[in-house]
A and B are shown apart, each in its own frame.
Chain A
């Protein structure tokens, strides 16, 4: 895009800054291997759950931020699994992120009351990415996240380390 606009050097500088920031965060996360929570992604859709595969971008994000993604299979996409299989896999999950439409614990429980079997739900450690959701449905998590993955990683890093502060986060907030 920068090349097309005749500003390739500005674009390269911006990209380098994003990369440097991302790699700095990864290095920081790797320093403390004692904190490595088991993380689950997504939520229930009428008895079905989209679970990322082990080489998906989301699994990579979680690893880079110092977490352990709970995945369903090998690959770079996702699997649709039944709620039964999902709960069996996720029982011991420490943190639940990307709860999609749900911004509250009540919403998560209403989507399927059997999520109470998930440890992260019982401990209130569920996080949504709708902090900056616009009234027209536009969500900067998706719109800007592909340009600034360092911002997403920064949020996840703090969530996994246990020092998350919703006032200083970019896209994430805790489900209340």
Chain B
């Protein structure tokens, strides 16, 4: 992704950032406006009887989940695109999302067969099952990353795992009851409404940990983008950096998928929007801008999903795909 001449332009761009201190401020103001529009703090609904509990228990967690989820997915995408040195990498590509989907399909199916329905345990176990599926893929990737020296082999493993778990989900769906399939399909549509207040802490903590890894190792990740030889000449271990990138990016994507379902396109697009704004591939300036871009995307999609139709909600993934597909095509056409 980066070469030596680009490395110079990277530092220039970082310096240029110093000359443009107002950019984060402008982005922050823009994000605050979007958050304000989604939160609707002035809506008369909250002053009606019971309105305050609706706001704090249902509305506020949804908006916060959208914001935190957008930040986590954008950082996860940024790290995955660095890991594979591929601008089209995302949680779907290394099998995280198919793994999580498999976990949910399995628990929904087993819930009825093991008699968990009476206690509702299958609902409570759903995020854990999604996390388990994602961690299964992650552990396979981690086990293989030491053996596979070629990056494209790791990418192929992710794709193959995606197909494998996709096929397993198809088999489960074929044998499940109609109501189980309905439950599972609704999970797959993704959304922030399902997040309850207590889950925000876990979402926030995993995002902070992932963001911490990204911020602390940003210079090493810049060297990683330049090539393996630059990492080794800087005295770093290439395998250690890969491990950090895999764990950081996959854990953020896994937690978001576990609580919000699969949320497409954000991890793919947000880093690109950020690089476009910052005009550099250096990680330092892109951390904040990617977070702004990710949160803005998910909050905008959340507003549209909830307010586009007066009496219905639209699937968040449908909104993001409608926004995302033209952006990716435009991006590819521009690169060519």
A residues contacting B by CB (< 8 A) are 45-48, 72-73, 79-85, 87-88, 91, 100-104, 106-114, 117, 137
Contact = CB atoms under 8 A, between A and B. Distances in A.
Most B CB within 10 A of own CB, among A100, A106, A110: A110
Contacts of B117: 101-104, 107
Nearest to B183: A45
9 contacts: A46-B186, A80-B313, A82-B191, A82-B313, A91-B50, A101-B180, A103-B117, A110-B123, A117-B53
Contacts of B261: 46
A137 B54 contact: no
Given A104-B117, A104-B119, 6 more contacts: A48-B191, A73-B311, A84-B54, A84-B58, A101-B183, A137-B178
Contact of A81 (B177, B182, B189, B312): B312
Contacts of A107: 117-120, 123
Contacts of A103: 117-118
Name the prevailing secondary structure of the A interface residues: mixed
A80 B58 CA distance: 17
Nearest to A109: B120
A87 B119 contact: no
B57 interface: yes
A87 B58 contact: yes
Contacts of B178: 137
B283 interface: no
B193 A82 contact: yes
Contact of B313 (A85, A91, A113, A137): A85
Contacts of B306: 82
Contacts of A87: 54, 58
B202 interface: no
Contact of A83 (B53, B112, B194, B312): B194
Interface of B: 45, 50, 53-54, 57-59, 62, 112, 117-121, 123-124, 126, 177-180, 182-183, 186-187, 189, 191-196, 261, 306, 310-313
Given A102-B120, A103-B118, A110-B119, A88 B45 contact: yes
A114 B120 contact: no
A45 B182 contact: yes
A101 B176 CA distance: 13
Contacts of B177: 137
Contacts of B186: 45-46, 48
B124 A110 contact: yes
A101 B179 contact: yes
A101 B121 CA distance: 12
A175 B172 CA distance: 28
Give me the 3 closest cross-chain CB pairs, A-B, nearest first: A110-B120, A47-B194, A47-B193
A81 B183 contact: no
B119 A88 contact: no
Max chain A C-beta neighbours (<10 A), residue from B45, B50, B183, B193? B193
Contacts of A45: 182-183, 186
B57 A114 contact: yes
A67 to B, nearest CB: 21
Contacts of A48: 186, 189, 191, 193, 313
B180 to A, nearest CB: 7
A108, A109, A114: most-surrounded residue (chain B CB, <10 A): A114
Given A108-B120, A109-B120, A114-B57, A47 B112 contact: no
B198 to A, nearest CB: 9
B50 A106 contact: no
Contact of A80 (B45, B121, B196, B312): B312
A114 B195 CA distance: 11
Nearest to A137: B177
Contacts of A117: 50, 53-54, 57
A80 B313 CA distance: 6
A81 B193 CA distance: 10
A78 to B, nearest CB: 9
Contacts of A84: 54, 58-59, 62, 193
Given A82-B306, A91-B50, A111 B120 contact: yes
